[in-house]
Structure 1
Amino acid sequence: ICGSSLIGNTRSVTAAHCWRTNTFQARQFTVVWGSNALMSGGTRVVTTNVVVHPQYNANNLNNDVAVIRHNSVAFNNVINRIALATGSNSFAGTWAVAAGYGRNGDGSGSSNPGKFQANLLVITNDVCRQTFGNTIVASTLCVSTAHGSSTCPGDSGGPLAVGSGNNRQLIGITSFGTQWCARGFPAGFARVTSFASWLSSQ
């Protein structure tokens, strides 16, 4: 299970490791829009057309970004695109919202049948390096999970967003964390401002 974000009628963005790791290669994605339930409802499209960032590194998850190309989906009151963040804002000190169908704690053994979301505080990369070392590069964005909320296994590829309504922006793509998602360690995302140009070109 992975998340994604709709960035156009025929394009969604997710984490590259959802499609390919050193030991796993997906064959297809079933993309779901317009439903808070994982296994039912909404609009569902199957695709095998996934473009992984050319500098994706499966060992350290740098450039952990991929574009899903799919049949056109119509926008409506429950399905809409999200704008890509651009510019030089680091968003450090900003509260953002992550969403996904992953586990809701260290003790839960499987993904959730419904979507959860968490309010997370963006931290500086220097603070994040205290946990993850040189894995943290300029194109990484990190959040604090000290307030008891975090992304967990099953949330990969999903959104980290700021703003609301038509002003909502995608600032991160859920990428990595520690093996414990409820113990206060930071969580890492692909920084969308670093990839906005490439994403838009796909």
Structure 2
Amino acid sequence: MQGKEPSNQFVQVHTPLDASRKAYEEYERNDCQCGQTKEQRIVNGSDVKPAHKYPWQVGIRENDSENYMCGGSIINDRYILTAAHCVTDKNNKPVSLKDLSVGVGDHISTSTKDDGMFTKTVVVKQIIVHNNYKPKNYDNDIALLKLFEPISLALSPDVGTICLPANDDKTYENINGTASGWGTIKNNGPQAEVLQETMLKILDSNCNGNSREVTENQLCVLPIFGDTCHGDSGGPLVVFEEPHYTLVGITSFTFVKCNDNYPTVFTRVSKFLQWIEDNTKDGLYC
């Protein structure tokens, strides 16, 4: 999608047209809060209800594919946080921008008409991959997508940001988290059309005896009712910390198969707070 404006069939993202960026930021900041769910198939997961319950969830497509190849999370009005392996090629280089797009405010991945007020495909302006990403063991498996235009965080309740951890003090071990995505509903199976969610237990650093396979930049989870699978990579693992949800993990890899009683590994977001801050200084946080 290099050089192309987003399709007119979607609601246009609000962008400030005058020089009053400060006034725009104050308006946006006063009208948004991070980590707020909209209350009312991940393997063995369930449909997210109500639609847009997790307004920070995005899908990442390559080459105009019908399905999302990966997920991601909105962290501010200009940046998506995802996994490095989602946006790098076999030579560990960022994929071509013309092949990449982001679905914002989506619920049913194969439709652009069913999701309510705000569903949009957004053009990616820049891919920022962590410079120490190691594909062999997925260490530092984290990347940022800078969007071509900012998302108006006050435009629709269907779109919002996820809160980042305040610091690196918490391990979150023995806490249940929620993962979401449009990945396959079983090994080598079809991808889910409706956004799925599942609960996962965050393990301690022993990772059920697999500690040699993980680094301090990663965390392990154990499936409770279901597991992440192919196509869920890059998506969020969140925990509820009153009064909001916090992004603690980015879906990275499984040891053998999905939902096989082996731990699933996530990038530990709290280890990268300074890196995120350094690379998103022009973004507006709620």
TM-score by length of 2: 0.65
Secondary structure, aligned partner of 1:22? coil
Q: Percent identity?
A: 27
Per-residue deviation, 1:192: 0.6
AA in 2 matched with 1:2 = C
Partner SS state of residue 168, structure 1: strand
Q: RMSD between aligned alpha carbons?
A: 1.8
Return the offset for 1:163.
1.2
Tell me which amino acid in the other structure corresponds to 2:77: N
Separation in 2, partners of 1:112, 1:179:
21
Matched, 1:84 2:164: yes
Q: List per-residue Cα deviations over 1:86-135 (Å, max 9, x = no partner).
A: 32100001010000010112251x3221210111110012124x23x533
Equivalents in 1 of 2:166, 2:214: separation in Å? 20
Secondary structure of the corresponding residue to residue 273 of structure 2: helix
- Aligned position for 1:98: 179
> In structure 2, which of residues 81, 84, 102 is the aligned counterpart of residue 13 of structure 1?
81
Offset of 1:23 from its aligned partner? 5.0
* Cα distance in 1 between the residues matched to 2:88 and 2:256: 19
SS of the equivalent of 1:4 reads strand
- TM-score normalised to structure 1 length: 0.91
- Whether the 8 Å CA contact 1:144–1:186 is kept in 2: the answer is yes
Cα distance in 1 between the residues matched to 2:123 and 2:188: 31
Question: Paired residue for 1:118?
Answer: 198
* Residue of structure 1 in register with 2:222 after alignment: 144
- Amino acid across the alignment from 1:83: C
Q: Is the 8 A contact 1:120 1:143 kept in 2?
A: yes
Asked if the contact 2:252/2:266 (under 8 Å) is kept, the reply is: yes
Q: Tell me if the contact between 2:142 and 2:267 (Cα under 8 Å) persists in the aligned partners.
A: yes
Structure whose alpha-carbon radius of gyration is higher: 2
Q: Which runs of 5+ in 1 are unaligned?
A: none
2:105 is aligned with what amino acid? G
Aligned length: 198
Q: Which has the higher strand share?
A: 1
Identify unmatched segments of 5+ residues in structure 2: 1-68, 113-118, 280-286
In structure 2, the partner of 1:26 is 95
TM-superposed deviation, 1:43: 1.5
Letter in 1 for 2:82: T
| 1:171 matched residue in structure 2 | 248
Q: Which moved more, 1:80-89 or 1:65-74?
A: 80-89
2:218–2:267: 8 Å Cα contact kept in structure 1? yes
Conserved 8 A contact 2:198-2:225: no
